[in-house]
A and B are shown apart, each in its own frame.
Chain A
Amino acid sequence: MLSLENYRYDVENCVRCSNCKWVDYICMKSKRFSKICPSHTKYLFDVYSCQGRMDVARGLMNKELDYTETVLDVVYKCTMCGACDIMCKRCLDLEPLEVLETLRIRLVEEGLGPMPAHKAYIERAEKTHNVFGEPHEKRFSWVPQEFLNRKDADVIFFVGCLSSYRSLEVAKATLKILDTAGVKVSVLTDEWCCGSPIFRVGDLKTAKKLMEHNLSLIKDTGVNKVVTSCAGCYKMFKVDYPKILGEETGLEVAHIVEYIDKFLDEGKLKFSKEVNLKVTYHDPCHLGRLSEPYVFWKGERKRYGLTDPPKKWRRGTYGIYEPPRKVLRSIPGITLVEMERIKENAWCCGAGGGVMAQYRDFAEWTAKERIEEAKVTGAEAVVSCCPFCKLNLEPKAKEAGMQMFDLTELIIKALGLEV
């Protein structure tokens, strides 16, 4: 399925309408924050937009273009945030993001991709099972013994590389929240990288190895509920695992914010402290517009481009947009003010798609743009639900005199707990 050739119709039927470059016009609130594609906004040449990349895909497929360094530059200077995909699908039945994904897979197959920094972290992940090259034992060293490989667990907390090694505060907060709510939660000591940063840059083979390991590990526990606090891991388990493996995983995947929302409704969590803060919420791409469950489709395009059997489209309608907002509003003392580009129209933090590793300046530029938007709201802090977003946005937030939190950190404060 994940072959560029399978998307020939999508590539050839891009109508070059430029919807992929702008926020939904109806939702546009100012000229200043009217663009949605970080890559095209920064690099300007049309080839750095989704429709431009469709032309490159078409050029490669039709052998009008050679595989060059510029092809790599164009294909990899993209955060894979999927904004183009969702904006395109406002009107058309095409799969632009899957074209971009298979384009990267093609580059890897051709022996050209991914980029050097990607190759380095993939190598590290193969050796140490995390993209940072940290010792595997360190991954769970912070976890209290009673939660490790728990036999009576109802839920597996898949921590992820970033929370395990770089954003421990998120990992600890998540575990604490689950425990406080009375969840029998387990952390698996043999958890490996979920594969997201690897699949995202087109290395399907290595990503598969990691995925198969994690799936088998989880299945062996007999538990089918997986919760994560990382939007990247969440989308990977929920969307990309079935897509890549070609079958349902049998797992019930949730993001911690969905659990918190439920726990609050059920009275399993009760806030006892005020958190006096004016905040704005940044929608992670992988929790928002790209988080709809994967829908299997095997068929063909018939006359008029009709799909046979009819395909169900993921248009970003049912992303996790409301739960984090509802949770934030329910925290005593919190005032939530919205940025202009929100939900399906959110501007990416800039970290994804391997950009933070390979194109640091682009990642920082994208983050700066988001923080400027956040600053305009008058908020004191930016809140998100993804450690990767936090990692990339935090330095720019600090420069702008703002604080940066993962939602779980505010929940801990509101519960009067410490981690």
Chain B
Amino acid sequence: MERIPREIYHTLESIVGSEYITEDPVICQAYSRGGYGKDIYDRGRVRPACVILPGCTEEVQAIVKVCNRYKIPYIPVSTFYIGFCAPTKPYTIMVDLKRMDKLWINEKNMYAVVEPYVNYAQLNTEALKLGLYTNAPLCGAQASVLANHLFQGMGQNVWRTGFANKRILAVEWVLPDGELLHLGSASIIKDYFWGEGPGPDLRGLVRGWFGHSGGLGIVTRIAVKLFPIPYRGVPEVWGVTPSTGFSLPSERFRWYNVICPTLEKAIKFMREVSKAEIAAVCMRIPYVWRYLRKATCREELWGYWLEDKAKLKGQIPSIVRVAIWGFSSEKQVEYEEKVLMDIANEVGVTVKPASPYAAGECLKPAASVRAFLPGGNFMGQKFNFDSLDHAVKVLKSGYKIKRKHIPPFMDDGEEAGWILCFDFGYHVYAELDYYFDAQEDVEEAIKAEEELLKDDLEIKAYPGAQWGHLHEVSGPHMLNYHKLMEKIGKTFDPNHLSNPPRFIGTRKEESTILTEVWRKICQSVIEEEKRRRKNS
């Protein structure tokens, strides 16, 4: 890997101090891989040239400015979970934001201000002590609150908390060129309580629809909404690893698994729950997750699953997880439970009480990484946002594509996938997962990913969320949104330095040209250094 010219390195070193910067290849090696989607989203990865750990916003700004002065690409990382940020360009600097881990909770006004290295487990742990909570992503509570809000922010609790863009308040944002911009109330009165003002509200831009994955600078501080929960404290933990959980008082918190004989019945049930505006959680879970959650090892998972799948003879039930929380009173629980039962009777589905320990996995998901258990890797596609009917349409259509790849993909018997409802079901997200061998099936998985997206476009669905490399495929079918993204990118980041491997589907050619520009600039600095040394 090419070394950063000394002049640039020493300038960076002067910002953070020698303790917090390195170009040692051994240390840099740990920043050369992606996380989830290993060998897929980090194809073409290279070892970064340097890793730097800023301790505050001013240091981040200074680093980004140096990068712009010398045209050096940089990639921000924090909790490292699901990082679409493996470097692919020479001279890349990894900006590890681990030292920025402050968390403040404003109990009265129900919001939290977080720096990049605060995760959901930490936030919900502290928030619960104050009778507050927020959604926690299904990918796991180790995800950065800040990064996840900027990226997708989906999870069980979105039934009430809504989509991530609605939970963001004021923002502190280091733009791709190093300028500092405060959004919302942080801009004028230096308070983070409100996103819409006074001052500019560019939350749509900082976040995009599905996030820029660090492609538009570095957000260093963000205020996120918290929501009241009828519990205050630190729940007592049950069990020992790997089966742990906590429950919340049953007078106020109840959990149900709704067993639906068909997907259509599940959708009808969810729609009725939506109309009744009850519940705290209402989400369709892939059936195989019952096994993933309980299996003590991979062999047991496959063993039990294959045995039960054979018994079910292709009639895999649809499971809807529902939670009823008595936000206002115990009577609310009683009332909503009655409504839930009535709906179930009318629709013809069975409601079974679920383990009260579901509370833990809902507020601080700890078992999410089990998605890797069946084969070592998994992928999701069909990231569609629209309505319940739309979710059924895309998932069923996607299932036909997925079937073609079974085997080698695991036959999880799913005709659908995850169906998450936001805002009491007025906005619905669909995701189809497939599990495969991490060593042997990667190419097949990549092929399936593109086929599934193309299927969406063919059936005129709305694949509203795509990883960077697929924007070019979906963009032309959707008002050329990728061109808009490209223009935003060029306007804010003309040198294309901010997380160049991402947000680039549309800037690929430009990226190659710019790579050469960076290389030339760095080489010229090196030559200059050599000349100076020789002369002195």
Contact = CB atoms under 8 A, between A and B. Distances in A.
Q: Specify whether A and B are partners.
A: yes
A229 interface: no
Given A90-B366, A316-B241, A74 B299 contact: no
Given A17-B140, A45-B22, A46-B30, A304 B35 contact: no
A28 B30 contact: no
B83 interface: yes
B277 interface: no
B298 A305 contact: yes
Contacts of B33: 16, 55
Interface string B478-507: 000000000000000000000000000000
Given A13-B376, A17-B81, A26 B245 contact: yes
Given A46-B96, A310-B297, A51 B30 contact: yes
A124 interface: no
Interface string A291-335: 000000000000111110011110111000100000000000000
A92 B369 contact: yes
Contacts of B121: 22, 25, 28, 34
B439 to A, nearest CB: 7
Contacts of B32: 55
B376 A304 contact: yes
A56 B298 contact: no
B38 A15 contact: yes
Contacts of B99: 44
Nearest to A89: B242
Contacts of A55: 29-30, 32-33
A304 B375 CA distance: 4
B374 A304 contact: yes
A160 B245 CA distance: 38
A343 interface: yes
A285 to B, nearest CB: 14
Interface stretch (A64-72, A131-139, A362-370, A388-396): A64-72
Q: Which one of B24, B30, B373 has the highest number of Cβ atoms from chain A below 10 Å of its Cβ?
A: B30
A99 to B, nearest CB: 14
A30 interface: yes
B437 A303 contact: yes
A87 B25 CA distance: 27
Interface in A55-95: 55-56, 59, 64-66, 68, 70-71, 74, 86-87, 89-93
Contacts of B122: 28, 31, 34
B242 A18 contact: no
B125 A30 contact: yes
B28 to A, nearest CB: 8
A17 B516 CA distance: 33
Interface string A35-65: 0000000001111010110011001000011
A29 B244 contact: no
Given A15-B369, A34-B125, A91 B242 contact: yes
A117 interface: no
Nearest to A75: B26
A17 B142 contact: yes
Given A65-B29, A317-B240, A16 B142 contact: no
A91 B369 contact: yes
A29 B122 CA distance: 8
Contacts of B34: 16
B151 interface: no
Contacts of B35: 15-18
A12 interface: yes
B37 to A, nearest CB: 9
Nearest to B435: A304
Contacts of A408: none
Contacts of A45: 22, 27, 30, 51, 53, 96
Q: Which one of A16, A26, A34 has the highest number of Cβ atoms from chain B below 10 Å of its Cβ?
A: A26
A17 to B, nearest CB: 5
Given A16-B33, A26-B360, A31-B125, A91 B24 contact: no
A305 B375 contact: yes
B38 A28 contact: no
A376 to B, nearest CB: 13
B74 interface: no
Interface in B22-68: 22, 24-27, 29-36, 38, 47, 51, 53
A74 B26 contact: yes
Contact of B83 (A16, A70, A311): A16
A308 B503 CA distance: 42
Given A25-B141, A28-B122, A64 B29 contact: yes
Interface string A380-392: 0000000000000
B285 interface: no
Nearest to A55: B30
Nearest to A87: B241
Given A18-B142, A304-B374, A304-B410, A71 B240 contact: no
B366 to A, nearest CB: 4
Contacts of A56: 26, 29-30
Nearest to A31: B122
B250 to A, nearest CB: 18
A46 B26 contact: no
Interface of A: 9, 12-13, 15-19, 21-22, 24-31, 34, 44-47, 49, 51-52, 55-56, 59, 64-66, 68, 70-71, 74, 86-87, 89-93, 289, 303-307, 310-313, 315-317, 321, 343-345
Given A15-B38, A30-B234, 5 more contacts: A17-B369, A19-B142, A92-B370, A93-B297, A303-B440
Ranked 8 nearest A-B pairs via Cβ? A52-B30, A25-B121, A91-B369, A16-B35, A47-B30, A25-B364, A70-B26, A25-B141
20 contacts: A13-B438, A17-B372, A19-B142, A19-B369, A21-B142, A25-B366, A26-B244, A28-B125, A29-B125, A30-B125, A44-B53, A46-B31, A46-B80, A55-B33, A64-B29, A90-B242, A92-B369, A305-B298, A312-B297, A343-B240
